[in-house]
Amino acid sequence: MTVLKDRVTSRMVAPVMRRRLNPFLMVAVGAVLVVVLTYTLPPFRTYQLATIGAYLCVTAGLTVLTGLNGQLSLGHGALMATGAYTLALWQNKFNLLAVGIVVAILVTTVAGLVIGLAAARLRGPYLAGLTLAVAVVVPSVASTFDETFNSDQGLSVILNPPPESMTVEQWQAWLCWGGALVTTLVLALVTRGRFGRDMRAVRDDETAAKLAGISIARTQVWTFVISAACAGLGGALFAVLAQSVSPGAFPLTLSLFLVMAIVIGGLGRLTGAVIGAFLLVALPAVAHEIGEASGSQRLEGNLALTFFGVVLVVVMLAAPGGLASLRLPRSWRARLSRKPAHRAGS
């Protein structure tokens, strides 16, 4: 009986251990890939790689909030601004980057808690309207209190030079992707646990979730807080990349781009967040090159939004679940899964 019990227990634990190990393995592979790319890409491409990592912190938290919990936020650009300004103020006074990033996350978490408590009482367009108002108000606050935030000119971010063994772009890429990989690892573990099941239950049917003993308001508030913390980290990393912060760096269109990016990538999937972060860098870069070639700054400003709109329509028609939901053709999957026939007598 003891042997049988051990076998049953091992069969039950093995799949759980595999699920727990997968995120760690993917993070390790991602870390190795980033290190290799930083030594092979030119400086500007390495800077773009760092920018993708900073965006990934935000898109990962937003796709969990919207895709797994069903809360639509149009104010994550404002949460990024909160983290960026917090880091700038901290660095200009203390110049301790690691502590400053933690402080930026904590301040944005508190802001997310306040917004989440209000958002837990709202549904549908009312929730979107609240977060949209936040996206409009926060940059206006930075412009109004010019003594603290230096109005529209913004604040510079004091940073110590990187180690002599690496370039500035390499250091930025390692810092941003370090934060991005930790963020995705934590979110992967959270969404695979009990809290992740609660988020999905609230998203699918609030009445059934409430009957199952799940606190609707608590689940929604904590999900918003987690997503806000991710946005604060992304905003702090953007402040490090730009070495300055200003209201113009976090316009309303940034929040709209973030939502479109996670929808195109695939709602509720961390792989979709990676795709969305890549698009947030790639599509504006293409629009910038076309705008420079045409010599029209107005065309450049409108092209990025046009590209996102066209890609969004095409993806929703071809793959309603986003690019992350695409699968290989059935014939390809059959060939890959087909096992070679064993010879007789072997």
pLDDT digits (tens, 9 = 90+) for 266-310: 999 999 999 999 999 998 888 888 877 776 666 666 777 888 889
Confidence of residue 161 (pLDDT cuts 50, 70, 90): very high
- Predicted confidence at residue 332, as pLDDT, reads 55
* Domain boundaries of the chain, sorted by first residue: 2-251
- Give yes or no for a contact between 149 and 85, defined as CB atoms under 8 angstroms apart: yes
Give the model's pLDDT for residue 296: 62
- pLDDT band at residue 188, thresholds of 50, 70 and 90? very high
Would the pLDDT of 328 be above 60? Answer: no
Q: Which long-range contacts (CB under 8 A, 24 or more apart) does 184-187 make?
A: 184/23, 184/26, 184/27, 184/30, 184/56, 184/60, 184/270, 184/273, 184/274, 185/23, 185/24, 185/27, 187/60, 187/61, 187/64, 187/226, 187/230, 187/270
CB atoms within 10 A of CB 179: 22
Share of the chain above pLDDT 90, in %: 62
User: DSSP labels for 19-41?
Assistant: HHHHHHHHHHHHHHHHHHHHHHS
Sorting pLDDT into bands at 50, 70 and 90, what band is 9?
very low
What is the rounded average pLDDT for all residues in the chain?
86
Q: Is the pLDDT of residue 336 over 90?
A: no
In the predicted structure, residue 139 carries a pLDDT above the cut 90: no
Q: What is the mean pLDDT of residues 63-85?
A: 94
Confidence of residue 338 (pLDDT cuts 50, 70, 90): low
- pLDDT in the model for residue 334: 60
- b/e code 10-26 from CB counts within 10 Å (16+ = b): eeeeeeeeeeeeebeeb
Say which residue, 13 or 28, is predicted with more confidence. 28
User: Between 129 and 240, whose confidence is greater?
Assistant: 240
Using CA atoms, how far apart are residues 340 and 15, in angstroms rounded to an integer? 26
**pLDDT value at residue 295:** 66
Inform me whether the pLDDT recorded for 7 exceeds 80. Answer: no
